[in-house]
Amino acid sequence: MSILELTAVALGKKIRTGEITVTEATEAVLGQIRTLEPALNCYITIDEEGALRRAMEVQKAIDGGILRGPLAGVPVAVKDNICIKDMLTTCGSRILYNFKPTYTAEAVKNLEKAGAVILGKTNMDEFAMGSTTETSAFGTTKNPWNPEHVPGGSSGGSCAAVAAHECFYALGSDTGGSIRQPSAYCGVTGIKPTYGTVSRYGLVAYGSSLDQIGPVAKDVTDCAAILEVLASYDSQDSTSVKRADCNFTEALVDDVKGMKIGIPNDYLGDGLDEEVKKAVLAAAEVLKQKGAVVETFDLNLVEYAIPAYYTIASAEASSNLSRFDGVKYGYRAGDYDGLHSMYKRSRSEGFGPEVKRRIMLGSFVLSSGYYDAYYLKALRTKALIKEAFDRAFQEYDVILAPAAPSTAPQLGVSLSDPMQMYLSDIYTISVNLAGLPGMSVPCGRDSRGLPIGLQFIGDCFAEKKMIRAGYAYECSRPYEAPQLSKQGEEGE
């Protein structure tokens, strides 16, 4: 097995035992990036010099016994809406084409304390608004399994980079499925933790009540280990939660005997691709054979999740994105007449079509006369959705569902029909509205060879049950990586 094929935890172990040096691992992955990036476009910024310098520093700390954690020396990629001091942070937008933060996100600081080597910043839908990584101002990311298909979004760059061995793990952010859906499309594992578990300080906000940073990796073991590092209380984030149960790797046990797993009937109806449905039900059967009790039940309110989500998220986005006006940083129009003209032209030229659409929608639902009719109604619906999940978790330890209604669509298809793009998040959005943890795990491939993702949903702060079920399922099937040789040759 080559260095690139190792999981993050497996590589960390070989680094600690001296079988592989941090520099060797970093050079291997940088070589993969140089080979595949022309074809895949997973990164916006690649910091080769900084990564190699950091690799030497981390190696010294490991040799000196200072760094002993499971991820010490393992190269990681960071989604480009998570701030790193003095490193370009664009959010995939022209309006932040030259922005370099003066501080580092708390989640990244936690990785650095654990000995991470940061490779660069990954591509994403502009301001995380999109489900395909096609709305980025820096070009479209391609799916490593088939470059004619999207990698999903908005964390498509992070998920594609992990699948293509262009990093050993990555950070993404999840507002309505932006870690789980692209993980499903790219055949990797991704976790959206309970809201408040990982600090949002340094994450450029889209929907503040919905956003969460989480890990993307090759398997459940990696994601559990990474989440242990990421999870911490942060006084700089008013929504951060103090937790005493963050030993997530304790849940890596191949045993689901007696666990009650529920499958919502609402998630198995119209709109779900038959091949995806078959793969999800086959995964449920595996868990059943391992001793879990698997039942179907009615969750209800699923049909209201998408309108509630896009009303709330767009309202919050219209407020959060008002700061990008061309005055203090970022893009400023070259030709304007007065202050208001500068605002108008800078925002019109700096933001892409999807971002403008959501800002306008958010401004509309918050406007006088429509606030009660739309925004408050969406908040009430959000509360009802949370109540529906609360009732479900009185009966079940974990909920099992598809991560997306289909496998990855072809490039261009979703952009031509925004409503179809919004519907691709139908199985993930409710998790964010309710503040729950969710995890996408690969569960097979369709007739075209594209990955299918299975989603595990846990109750608030019950990541361990979710990880336990996901790990038990994963033990029944080995990790698959895409065949990348031909893509590399085309890229060169």
- The tens digit of pLDDT for each residue in 85-98 reads 999 999 999 999 99
| 193-212 mean pLDDT | 98
CA nearest neighbour of 75 among 199, 162, 182, 193: 162
Q: What is the pLDDT of residue 417?
A: 74
CA nearest neighbour of 31 among 216, 188, 164: 164
Work out the end-to-end distance of the chain between its first and last CA atoms, rounded to an integer number of angstroms. 24
CA nearest neighbour of 333 among 322, 317, 344: 344
pLDDT band for 301, please (50, 70, 90 cuts).
Answer: confident
The answer to whether residue 83 sits within a structural domain is yes
Annotated active-site positions, please? 79, 154, 178
The answer to whether residue 363 sits within a structural domain is no
For residue 454, the tally of other CB atoms under 10 A from its CB is 25
Q: What is the dihedral of CA 307, 312, 314, 320, to 10 degrees?
A: -170
DSSP assignment of 280-304: HHHHHHHHHHTT-EEEEE----GGG
How far apart are alpha carbons 219 and 473 in whole angstroms? Answer: 11
Do 151 and 185 form a contact (C-beta atoms < 8 A)?
Answer: yes
The answer to whether residue 118 sits within a structural domain is yes
R_g (Cα) of the chain, nearest Å: 21
Do 91 and 124 form a contact (C-beta atoms < 8 A)?
Answer: yes
Determine which helix (DSSP H) or strand (DSSP E) holds 342, and give its type and residue range: helix 339-350
Residue 371: alpha-carbon gap to chain centroid: 30
CA nearest neighbour of 462 among 470, 472, 454: 470
Q: What is the pLDDT of residue 415?
A: 76
For residue 7, the tally of other CB atoms under 10 A from its CB is 19
Q: What is the pLDDT of residue 381?
A: 97
Q: What is the dihedral of CA 59, 62, 68, 71, to 10 degrees?
A: 0
Q: What is the pLDDT of residue 31?
A: 98
Q: What is the pLDDT of residue 1?
A: 78
The answer to whether residue 172 sits within a structural domain is yes
How far apart are alpha carbons 57 and 61 in whole angstroms? Answer: 6
pLDDT band for 490, please (50, 70, 90 cuts).
Answer: very low
**For residue 377, is pLDDT > 70?**
yes
The answer to whether residue 102 sits within a structural domain is yes
How far apart are alpha carbons 267 and 256 in whole angstroms? Answer: 23
- What's the token pair of residue 169? 């793990």
The answer to whether residue 414 sits within a structural domain is no
Q: What is the pLDDT of residues 217-234, one digit of tens each?
A: 999 999 999 999 999 999
Residue % of the chain over a pLDDT of 90: 91
The answer to whether residue 440 sits within a structural domain is no
pTM check: above 0.75: yes
Q: What is the pLDDT of residues 235-293, one digit of tens each?
A: 999 999 999 999 999 999 999 999 999 999 999 988 899 999 999 999 999 999 999 99
The answer to whether residue 88 sits within a structural domain is yes
Determine which helix (DSSP H) or strand (DSSP E) holds 227, and give its type and residue range: helix 220-230
Write the CATH number for 71.
Answer: 3.90.1300.10
- In the chain, the number of structural domains is 1
Q: Which residue type sits at 135?
A: T
Residues contacting 372, CB < 8 A, separation 6+: none
| 442-470 mean pLDDT | 98
**For residue 485, is pLDDT > 70?**
no
Residue 416: alpha-carbon gap to chain centroid: 24
CA nearest neighbour of 254 among 221, 210, 208, 206: 221
**For residue 433, is pLDDT > 90?**
yes
- What's the token pair of residue 7? 């999981």
Q: What is the pLDDT of residue 489?
A: 38
Which stretch of 7-16, 126-135, 297-306, 418-427 has the lowest confidence by average pLDDT? 418-427
Q: What is the pLDDT of residues 12-71, one digit of tens each?
A: 999 999 999 999 999 999 999 999 999 999 999 999 999 999 999 999 999 999 999 999
**For residue 487, is pLDDT > 80?**
no
Residue % of the chain over a pLDDT of 70: 98
Q: What is the pLDDT of residues 191-201, one digit of tens each?
A: 999 999 999 99
Q: What is the pLDDT of residue 414?
A: 79
Q: Which domain holds residue 115?
A: 3-253+469-491
How far apart are alpha carbons 247 and 464 in whole angstroms? Answer: 8
Do 227 and 217 form a contact (C-beta atoms < 8 A)?
Answer: no
Q: What value does the mean pLDDT of the chain take?
A: 95
Taking CA 425 as the corner, what is the angle to CA 229 and CA 189, rounded to the nearest 5 degrees? 35
